[in-house]
A = this chain, B = another copy of it.
């Protein structure tokens, strides 16, 4: 039975730490797979069991996963006993974290070579069938476009000449593709969304998915916008204020990074409604909220005979707890797609993203239907579990 590697760029962040703790808890059978889309009753049973995932990653920070997990526990994200209970698994993941790449981190060709070496070393040490790189590091500012992004040959030439032109997320994707790994861009950063990298993924025969995990306010937006559209209620304005604490909020205190996120967030509504609407989405950093996030959205709409009506919602969620199970879903789905020979972007995974690659569909229900169909497709052919797994797995709790 194949074992899969999950390599997290930003491996010591809140999301990655929650992924590591959660995967260990699922493996130990001490937590049900709430929040895991692929574990819902009736979802095609095609993916590698949590117990067959091995974790590693890149990070520029040095705090141990155990320490990070304890902090998340104080913040209410992780139940108090887990960090010590799962200490062994956390230490194992910790041992596979290598120094990450940050802007100004030296010649990019050399950095890429190092990252590639980290990935192949990880695969070889653990005898992994496949590795999927998932970027859960900090959001980058919008990238300034360059001609070298358009074509792989030009990009390779530029890198060879010592240029430092790729944002870190794209350097991670570049390294992943060269190492023969699938890739998931879970942040709003550029990652694989450059023509040159799309070319590289096709050539390397690896699949990838993205962009910007849809975990909270935008999830609700993409659920509600089709309701208005189907009912022929004309949305006139959609305004929102996101209050974020924690690491994510701190990054977004930087206006440039915030811009990336706000653009990504506004796509859901206009993408579904096929029209511009008044209003915009604000993001504020409110440290006191800790790992929690509160978003308020206000919608005005027009119905029969021009009557004006209004709708508002408040979402109070914990981003790390919402993102982590999706990371596990995505890593396993991309690994399976890789196994089945898929390469290039996977628009079928648009359900998971605010700004889905290679598709214009933003409505949640349509995205979900497409995901289910895709999972059915993946389930044909040899099972990733071999012959004996199903019985064992059906004993695991399901949401």
Contacts and interface: CB of A to CB of B under 8 A. Distances in A.
B304 A18 contact: yes
A68 interface: no
A235 to B, nearest CB: 10
Contacts of A37: 230-232
Contacts of A82: 305
A33 B227 CA distance: 16
B305 A18 contact: yes
A311 B307 contact: no
A85 B310 CA distance: 28
A76 interface: yes
Nearest to A310: B316
A82 B325 CA distance: 33
A-side interface mostly: mixed
A268 interface: no
A33 B232 CA distance: 8
A143 to B, nearest CB: 26
Contact of A305 (B31, B284, B351): B31
Nearest to A230: B368
15 contacts: A18-B305, A21-B305, A33-B232, A34-B304, A35-B232, A76-B307, A224-B224, A240-B241, A241-B241, A286-B300, A296-B298, A303-B325, A305-B321, A309-B316, A364-B365
The 10 closest A-B pairs by CB, nearest first: A365-B365, A232-B399, A35-B304, A307-B321, A313-B313, A241-B241, A236-B288, A35-B303, A223-B227, A304-B321
A180 to B, nearest CB: 30
Nearest to A302: B34
Contact of A280 (B224, B284, B289, B314): B284
A312 B314 contact: yes
Contacts of A298: 241, 243, 294, 296
Contacts of A241: 239-241, 282, 296, 298
A224 B222 CA distance: 10
A234 interface: yes
Given A34-B234, A233-B35, A322 B305 contact: no
A331 interface: no
A287 interface: yes
A237 B289 CA distance: 9
Given A239-B241, A304-B324, 10 more contacts: A18-B304, A21-B305, A34-B232, A34-B303, A79-B306, A223-B226, A239-B286, A279-B284, A294-B310, A312-B313
Contacts of A33: 232
A258 B364 CA distance: 33
A220 B228 CA distance: 10
A320 B310 CA distance: 15
A313 B221 CA distance: 12
A25 interface: yes
